[in-house]
Structure 1
């Protein structure tokens, strides 16, 4: 009886050990097969701006009054405070990386000379207020508009160019009127309205009508514009780290492509700025 009981206990012990090992192996296998948690998304808010320092580098340019005047400074401070609610970790601006690296350090130290440029007035101010990192993501790009004009004039399409330019200039006049009436916040709300952002691409798309056969200057213009914006977006993507919250401050003409890039790039999540701009 005693030997039988001891044997029964031994079998039970071996069975328990076997079940324990099997359970351990099963848990190990499950842990190995379980999917890893996805990295935290990068939230990107693209804020289209007007050029505050009147550089005159676009085909059609908004004429801004002096943004260093007390009234405009108060408006810019209000915009900065509102955008700060997004709690950005990075602020990407329309200067190349090497220029931002130099001037951002000067701005933080208080040695950068006064500047009317929106990079300083909005970008650097927002980054300093929130403890975010200012990063330069702009690149140079070709804009072969002269070839489009030459082809259009030679092929009876000068009227198409004139109509597109007239419409673009009318939009500039409208933005100037909003700035005069509603201030900096008002014009930023205006140019960042999703319908207005989409409408702004009409000029570039209309250029596709200029060309024929092997000669496609309109398509080349659009391609050059998209190439520059693709390189800008690549710089943003390469700067991003999981969990980042990035405010992108760029001329409003870039907003359509940069928003599209943020919305369609895996790991990035587009945030509309309208909820953060003050009224």
Structure 2
């Protein structure tokens, strides 16, 4: 099960960031508990998250010991919470660093009359993040995750990276380099996913929604692995 998420702690790491109120309030904590309880019905034997392995091992051990300081991060609020509910001894951190060579795409767009197209794509992404922020403001976190985890939305988000292939010609292919770097990172993440999934295991994988399409594709194509839809379990 791939669960596409957004940052709950407003870290500002992305170009556009969903605005989230304090998830440590009683209301949001109740919603997060409900999400974990709903996902626990899947009976996962493995939980995987968007953190490096060593950091995840260290902080989950502290979480279980009750010594981890309060955290608004989605890894803690969703991944650790679900793993603890299932009494799992470990959470698998499967994230890896990757290149994102966007500047050459901008340079190419500016020098080949494609800047308006690129600007429109970025503006569209910004508007979608604003709309998602409004969904968070007016709805429950469970309902927002259900909206985010429809297969059609994963495909729509992924379209940005495929559209990058338009930026280039002949031996100059900055868009293909950008898309290739994104694919390479996600393939490495999926490699770690598959390597951490024992035969007969049932995994819930929490990752930023931008990764969802490629991780879903990898799981679908992997022999002897079945994709389970998150929306079959997420609360309404």
What is the TM-score when the length of structure 2 is the normalising length? Answer: 0.97
Flag structure 1 segments of 5+ consecutive residues without an equivalent.
Answer: 1-44
Q: Please say if 1:202 is aligned against 2:202.
A: no
1:174 aligned to which of 131, 138, 145? 131
CA deviation after TM superposition for structure 1 residue 147, in Å: 1.2
CA deviation after TM superposition for structure 1 residue 202, in Å: 1.6
Aligned counterpart, 1:139:
96
Aligned counterpart, 1:239:
196
Aligned counterpart, 1:99:
55
Flag structure 2 segments of 5+ consecutive residues without an equivalent.
Answer: none
Contact 1:164 1:206 (8 Å CA) reproduced? no
**Once the two structures are superposed, what CA deviation does each residue of 1:132-154 show, in whole Å capped at 9, x if it has no partner?**
33110000001111111111111
What is the TM-score when the length of structure 1 is the normalising length? Answer: 0.83
Aligned counterpart, 1:130:
86
**Once the two structures are superposed, what CA deviation does each residue of 1:185-236 show, in whole Å capped at 9, x if it has no partner?**
0110011011111111121111111111111111111000011000000001
CA deviation after TM superposition for structure 1 residue 181, in Å: 2.0
- State the secondary structure of the residue aligned to 2:139: helix
> 2-side partners of 1:146 and 1:55: how far apart?
22
Contact 1:178 1:187 (8 Å CA) reproduced? yes
**Once the two structures are superposed, what CA deviation does each residue of 1:246-265 show, in whole Å capped at 9, x if it has no partner?**
00000011000001111110
Number of equivalent positions: 235
> 2-side partners of 1:175 and 1:86: how far apart?
26
- State the secondary structure of the residue aligned to 1:250: strand
Please identify which structure carries the higher helix content: 1
- State the secondary structure of the residue aligned to 1:271: coil
> 2-side partners of 1:61 and 1:143: how far apart?
17
